[in-house]
């Protein structure tokens, strides 16, 4: 690590913009104080890899409709509880009597459905390649058991198309470690052939510094474009084929709207028609809800790496972790939250 | 006596008297607890610390304690934080109709034992019974008085640059225990029990080392991290902590890893944050470690003149980063 | 984006693995991994073991990834 650290701190070459795609990287990089080690000519920008941040306000509105109008029990990861919808958050709805349960796994929501057969249980399925197989597993088990009181409200997304949308936002990417666990590294080899550079990065201090050192060395030595798996103890080149197969059996790709990036064709995952009974939108015949965000909120621009949170007029004033306006402030992994929590001058 | 608490037990008649005699008086018995409307206390000289606290916890029993023990520790520790020796306590119960009598006895027994350990007496009490669903099983409020010895003054406003920051044990155990006891996340951690303990003796021990202790705070709701920010703000100083020096139980670390939580923000019920001049810090920690409830006491940082109002962490790789400010409900971070 | 935890497999029963991360234990789905055996280390995300891994330097260390 000392060598990696030396490479990172002593870089004097051309200015570099490195995008950490994954929200957990954003969080850990702040927590470990790694930004403070970087020389002035290396800038880390936060990307769109926080599922909560790229999910539109309309999704929360749909969940609230299910909870308040259809009296469904909403099972969700804790990440989503404080995210503002057009009018209120799940936490605010809970205070009004909505039954909102925080779960660790989609399989816990499924278990709840089996335990409470008189209630409709809806799991809020957000997340990328890493999280999707769990939702698929829950749906497939529900189908096998013919469980009629379980469904998922989906806002799942996949990364490949986003990389293409972002390829001009940075000189190199820290690719998300746990998405890569599932997807494998072939996609990055292909991106490299198209001129997009990056490394797969782990989450400890050693792993993050090693990944940054790899990027910086590649630029110093003019080895661009490049790709390297810097998280080989966890990420295999072939990824997790069983997880991908399951996902393909249960879900289809679809267009998806990303807060800040707009609609990216083919970047979403939706349940296949044969699983329509477990698709909350179809089951409860939900209307299309566009969702309204505060127009001054610049989450979208932040998510593209085009501005820093501090450039947003709401940041730290109207928008704080206690009273978040945009999703990037509410999620513990959001760039705004991380900047606010860790970024103070000292 | 019936197996469960009924509305009649709260109606003020013979059943109320029976409940008080058989459960509370039987366990709390001491010369100052009489049948009169108020306790009459002997003269106490010197400055007094006086505090009150309400306790609700679900579940009411958990590994390492129950709501009874908690209700005594909470008030005793608040008094101890002011350097006071806890003397007298009162307690008020609101009990849900149908609450098992046997559990109530267990709670009373824990309260009596904890009060004895802390060296104080329960001298007055009250019991109300609420209809089913009107309270969640049992709520307890305790109030306490303690005497502050001469020459002792502690306050959140007294931290000074150059002081050392000490915790009296590993952090986050109580919060983690309750999280696991609710069994919402299907996680088990055998070794993780509540740190719930009365700390009057620990405080006395510290003052045995030196009377020059500036701040003592119990790190309850919001955990040790919240206390750091409170003191930094009240004293208008900076605090710098060393991440590697903060004691955290392995099981707590594992649970926090699974759920994306920070141990510094999980509640403790038997941990103090102590701020004292550096020259006394080692001796304070050495003395504390001899007590079983403070076996993992450690110096975890220092008070600085820099960055007033902020808490900075020196990370495991030697970099500096802000400790995130405490904020609202702790929510697991998964996706 | 995906909080993961490396943990040791204690036992496996019918597609479910009991895992241990420095003393915190939980049952997770082992259905997405072949040939998992007690003693193996896995990366766990949202109640699913998603990869068999080489244990980190400090085995079972919570990484809060």
CATH assignment of the domain containing A232: 3.40.50.11740
Q: What DSSP string describes B164-189? A: EEEESS-SSHHHHHHHHHTTSS-EE-
- Domain carrying residue B11: 7-148
Q: Where are any strands of DSSP class E within A118-191? A: 121-127, 150-157, 172-175
Q: Do B333 and A332 touch (CB under 8 A)?
A: yes
Distance CA B71, CA B112 (A): 11
Q: B332 lies in a domain? A: no
Q: What DSSP string describes C6-65? A: EEEEEEEETTEEEEEETTEEEEEE-TT-SS--TT-EEEEETTEEEEEEPPPSSTT-----
Closest Cα partner for B281 from B303, B299, B305?
B299
Looking at residue A248, its pLDDT comes to 97
Asked if B68 and B40 sit in the same domain, the reply is yes
Token duo for residue B92? 């008020």
List, as ranges, residues 1-60 from C with C-beta within 8 Å of B.
1-3, 5, 7, 20-27, 44-47, 60
Q: Rounded to 5 degrees, what are φ and ψ at B55?
A: -125, 120
Residue with tokens 């701190």: A9
Q: Rounded to 5 degrees, what are φ and ψ at A196?
A: -95, 125
Per-residue pLDDT of chain A (346 residues; tens, 9 = 90+): 679 999 999 999 999 999 999 989 998 999 999 999 999 999 998 888 888 888 888 999 999 999 999 999 999 999 899 888 888 999 999 999 999 999 999 999 999 999 999 999 999 999 999 999 999 999 999 999 999 999 999 999 999 988 888 888 899 999 999 999 999 999 999 999 999 999 999 999 999 999 999 999 999 999 999 999 999 999 999 999 999 999 999 999 999 988 877 888 999 999 999 999 999 999 999 998 887 778 888 888 888 888 889 899 999 899 988 888 887 887 777 889 888 888 765 5
- What are the residues whose beta carbons fall under 8 Å from the beta carbon of B9, sequence distance 6 or more? B15, B16, B18, B19, B95, B127, B129
Does residue B127 sit in helix, strand or coil?
strand
Asked if A320 and A275 sit in the same domain, the reply is no
Q: Do B260 and C64 touch (CB under 8 A)?
A: yes
Q: B156 lies in a domain? A: no
Q: B334 lies in a domain? A: no
Q: What's the structural domain count of chain B?
A: 2
Q: Residue C1 pLDDT > 80, yes or no?
A: no
Asked if A103 and A37 sit in the same domain, the reply is yes
Q: B253 lies in a domain? A: yes
Q: Do A137 and C48 touch (CB under 8 A)?
A: yes
Looking at residue A344, its pLDDT comes to 62
- Report pLDDT digits (tens) over B193-212: 999 999 999 999 999 999 99
Q: B214 lies in a domain? A: yes
What residues form DSSP beta bridges with A295?
none
Partner residue opposite B254 with nearest CB, options C3, C23, C46: C23
- Of B120, B148, B176, the one marking the end of a domain is B148
Q: State the complex-level ipTM.
A: 0.91
- Report pLDDT digits (tens) over B229-261: 999 999 999 999 999 999 999 999 999 999 989
Asked if B104 and B12 sit in the same domain, the reply is yes
Domain C5-53, what fold? SH3 type barrels. (2.30.30)
Looking at residue A231, its pLDDT comes to 97
Distance CA B13, CA B18 (A): 9
The DSSP H or E segment spanning A27 is: helix A23-31
- Of B148, B179, B200, the one marking the end of a domain is B148
Q: How many CB atoms lie within 10 A of CB B270?
A: 26
Query: Residues B205-230, buried b or exposed e (16+ Cβ, 10 A)?
Result: bbbebeeebbbbbbbbebbbbbbbbb
Distance CA B138, CA B59 (A): 10
* Residue A182 touches chain C, beta carbons under 8 Å: yes
* Residue A202 touches chain C, beta carbons under 8 Å: yes
Asked if B91 and B142 sit in the same domain, the reply is yes
Does residue A309 sit in helix, strand or coil?
helix
Distance CA A200, CA A210 (A): 11
Asked if A203 and A323 sit in the same domain, the reply is no
Which CATH number does the domain housing residue B271 bear?
3.90.650.10
Chain C neighbors of B173, CB-CB under 8 A:
none
Q: What's the structural domain count of chain A?
A: 2
When pLDDT is cut at 50, 70 and 90, the band that residue C64 belongs to is: very low
Q: How far is CA A145 from CA A97, A139, A149, A278, C31, in A?
A: 30, 10, 11, 12, 17
Looking at residue A147, its pLDDT comes to 97
Asked if A2 and A39 sit in the same domain, the reply is yes
List, as ranges, residues 3-62 from C with C-beta within 8 Å of A.
3-4, 6, 26, 28-29, 31-34, 43, 45-48, 50-51, 53-54, 56
Asked if A12 and A93 sit in the same domain, the reply is yes
* Angle in degrees, 0-180, between the axes of helices A23-31 and A205-220, rounded to the nearest 10: 100
Angle (CA) A228 A230 A233, round 5°? 130
- Report pLDDT digits (tens) over B23-81: 998 999 888 888 888 999 998 889 999 999 999 999 999 999 999 999 999 999 999 99
Asked if A153 and A238 sit in the same domain, the reply is yes
Q: A346 lies in a domain? A: no
Looking at residue A262, its pLDDT comes to 81
- Of B116, B148, B180, the one marking the end of a domain is B148
Query: Cβ-count burial of A153 within 10 angstroms (0-12 exposed, 13-18 middle, 19+ buried)?
Result: buried
Asked if A319 and A182 sit in the same domain, the reply is no
How close C26 gets to chain B, by Cα (Å)?
5
């Amino acid at each position: 690590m000392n060598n990696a650290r030396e490479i990172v701190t002593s870089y004097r070459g051309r200015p570099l913009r490195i995008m950490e795609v994954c929200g957990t990287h954003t969080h850990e990089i702040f927590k470990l104080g790694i930004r403070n080690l970087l020389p002035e000519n290396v800038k880390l920008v936060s990307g769109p890899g926080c599922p909560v941040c790229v999910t539109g306000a309309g999704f929360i509105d749909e969940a609230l409709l299910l909870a308040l109008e259809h009296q469904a029990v909403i099972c969700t990861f804790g990440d989503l509880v404080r995210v503002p919808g057009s009018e209120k958050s799940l936490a605010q709805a809970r205070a009004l009597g909505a039954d909102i349960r925080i779960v660790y796994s989609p399989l816990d929501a499924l278990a709840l459905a089996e335990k409470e057969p008189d209630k409709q249980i809806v799991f809020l399925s957000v997340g990328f390649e890493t999280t999707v197989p769990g939702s698929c597993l829950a749906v497939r088990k529900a189908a096998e058991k013919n469980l009629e009181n379980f469904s998922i409200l989906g806002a799942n997304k996949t990364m490949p198309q986003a990389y293409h949308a972002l390829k001009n936002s940075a000189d190199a990417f820290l690719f998300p470690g746990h998405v890569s666990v599932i997807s494998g590294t072939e996609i990055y080899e292909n991106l490299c052939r198209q001129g997009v550079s990056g490394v797969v990065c782990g989450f400890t201090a050693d792993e993050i510094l090693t990944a940054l050192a790899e990027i910086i060395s590649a630029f110093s030595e003019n080895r661009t474009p490049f790709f390297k798996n810097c998280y080989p103890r966890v990420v295999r080149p072939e990824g997790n084929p069983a997880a991908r197969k399951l996902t393909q059996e249960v879900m289809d790709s679809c267009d998806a709207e990303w807060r800040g990036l707009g609609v990216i064709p083919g970047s979403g995952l939706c349940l296949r028609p044969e699983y329509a009974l477990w698709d909350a939108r179809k089951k409860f015949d939900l209307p299309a809800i566009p969702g309204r965000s505060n127009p001054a909120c610049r989450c979208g621009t932040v998510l593209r790496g085009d501005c820093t949170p501090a450039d947003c007029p709401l940041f730290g004033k109207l928008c704080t972790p206690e009273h978040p306006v945009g999703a990037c402030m509410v999620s513990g992994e959001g760039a705004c939250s991380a900047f606010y929590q860790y970024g103070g001058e000292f | 006596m019936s197996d469960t608490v009924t509305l009649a037990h709260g109606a003020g008649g013979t059943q109320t008297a029976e409940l008080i005699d058989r459960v509370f008086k039987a366990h709390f018995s001491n010369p100052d607890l009489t049948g009169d409307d108020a306790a009459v206390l002997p003269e106490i000289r010197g400055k007094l610390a006086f505090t009150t606290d309400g306790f609700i916890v679900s579940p009411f029993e958990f590994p390492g304690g129950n709501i009874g023990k908690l209700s005594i520790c909470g008030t005793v520790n608040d008094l101890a934080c002011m350097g006071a020796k806890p003397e007298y306590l009162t307690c008020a119960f609101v009990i849900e109709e149908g609450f098992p009598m046997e559990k109530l006895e267990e709670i009373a027994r824990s309260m009596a034992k904890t009060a004895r350990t802390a060296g104080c007496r329960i001298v007055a009490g009250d019991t109300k019974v609420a209809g089913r669903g009107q309270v969640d099983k049992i709520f307890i409020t305790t109030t306490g008085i303690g005497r502050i010895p001469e020459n002792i003054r502690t306050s959140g406003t007294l931290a000074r640059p150059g002081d050392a920051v000490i915790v009296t044990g590993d952090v986050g155990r109580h919060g983690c225990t309750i999280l696991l006891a609710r069994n919402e996340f299907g996680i088990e951690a055998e070794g993780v029990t509540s740190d719930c303990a009365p700390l009057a003796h620990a405080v006395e021990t510290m003052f045995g080392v030196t009377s020059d202790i500036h701040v003592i705070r119990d790190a309850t709701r919001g955990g040790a991290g919240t206390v750091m920010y409170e003191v930094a703000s009240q004293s208008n100083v900076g605090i710098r902590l060393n991440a590697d020096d903060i004691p955290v139980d392995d099981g707590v670390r594992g649970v926090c890893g699974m759920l994306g939580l920070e141990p510094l923000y999980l509640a403790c019920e038997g941990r103090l944050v102590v701020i004292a001049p550096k020259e006394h810090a080692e001796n304070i920690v050495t003395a504390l470690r001899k007590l079983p409830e403070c076996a993992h006491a450690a110096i975890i940082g220092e008070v600085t003149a820099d960055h007033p109002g902020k808490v900075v962490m020196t990370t495991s790789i030697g970099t500096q980063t802000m400790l995130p400010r405490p904020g609202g409900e702790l929510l697991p971070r998964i996706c | 984006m995906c909080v993961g935890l490396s943990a040791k497999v204690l036992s496996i029963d019918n597609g479910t693995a009991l895992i241990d991360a420095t003393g915190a234990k939980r049952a997770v789905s082992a259905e997405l991994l072949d040939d998992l055996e007690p003693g193996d280390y896995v990366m766990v995300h949202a109640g699913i073991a998603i990869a068999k891994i080489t244990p980190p330097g400090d085995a079972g260390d919570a990484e809060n990834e």
